[in-house]
Amino acid sequence: MKKIFPPAVHLAVLAVWLIVALYLIFLYAPREATMGEVQRIFYIHFSSACTALLAYFFVFLGSMGYLWKRSRRADDFAYASAEVGFIFCSAVLVTGPLWAKPAWGIWWTWDARLTSTFILWLLYIAYLMLRSYVINPGRVEVLAAVVGVIGFVDAVIDYMAIRWWRTQHPQPVLGGGSGSGLDPRMWLTVFVTWGAFLCLFFYLVRQRMAMAEARRELAELRRELAA
């Protein structure tokens, strides 16, 4: 991966992609008829939400990989996805109320979608707190992997909430059936922005995984020196 797509190239692609996304958001996408300019929050809100959900899916996959094969790489991937996913989930919880206030007249409501997203954010915190309290280094990975697997139930509920229940949150835009569509220019903006956010996510995850590798190498060297 490092040879095919070095971090510097990844960063350059990311920078261009983000600039294109910002151009589409502010200069290309049409102004929404009822909400006006504030609807442009949708592009970062939606992209952050999809990335945060996908990140938890990666936490689940990495955790399963660790529990099944005891793969260090899978554990690193789960840990990195959780840390970066937490950042994206925080972005969702910041942009949501900032859009809700002018659109609904309220900052927050405890409907199924908003509540399950908040729980997802708490799950990310729980996972990261567990990782930082290294009481027994061999055991913490297993405990975190169990949290990663069980917590995935909430990610599924979060995704399905607007399909299963009537919520204050709007019905799905993506895969929501007929009548849930967007203007084609808005679709293009959504996909380019989400692509840019995914590119950012993977850049941060690979940086975080490289850090985990360096930390392990450092621990081994310290052990060698102490011996």
Partner 1 sequence: MVNTFLFLAYSVVWVIFVVYAWTLSRRHARLRKELEDLKARVSKPSKP
In the complex, the residues that contact partner 1 under the rule CB under 8 A are 36-38, 40-41, 44-45, 48, 84, 87, 90-91, 94-95, 98-99, 101-102, 200, 204, 207-208, 210-211, 214-215, 217-218, 221-222, 224-225
Which of residues 89 and 145 has its CB atom nearest to partner 1 in the complex? 89
| Closest CB to partner 1 among residues 48, 63 | 48
Give min distance, CB of 218 to partner 1, in A: 5
> Whose Cβ is closer to partner 1: residue 37's or residue 183's?
37
Tokens encoding 135: 């009481």
Please state the closest distance from residue 25 (CB atom) to partner 1, in A: 9
- Please, what is the minimum distance in Å from the beta carbon of residue 64 to partner 1? 25
**Residue nearer to partner 1 on the CB measure, 7 or 181:** 7
Helix axes 41-69, 112-132, angle to 10 degrees: 50
Cβ contact 29:38 at 8 Å: no
- Smallest gap from residue 18 Cβ to partner 1 (A): 10
End-to-end CA distance of the chain: 34
Specify the residue for token string 């689940």: 60
Helix, strand, coil: what percent of the chain each, to 5? Answer: 80, 0, 20
Contact 13, 4 (CB under 8 A): no
Q: Minimum CB separation from partner 1 for residue 48, in Å? A: 7
Nearer to partner 1, 70 or 215 (CB): 215
Residues 133 and 181: their CA atoms lie apart, in Å, by 46
- Is the Cβ–Cβ distance between 189 and 28 less than 8 Å? yes
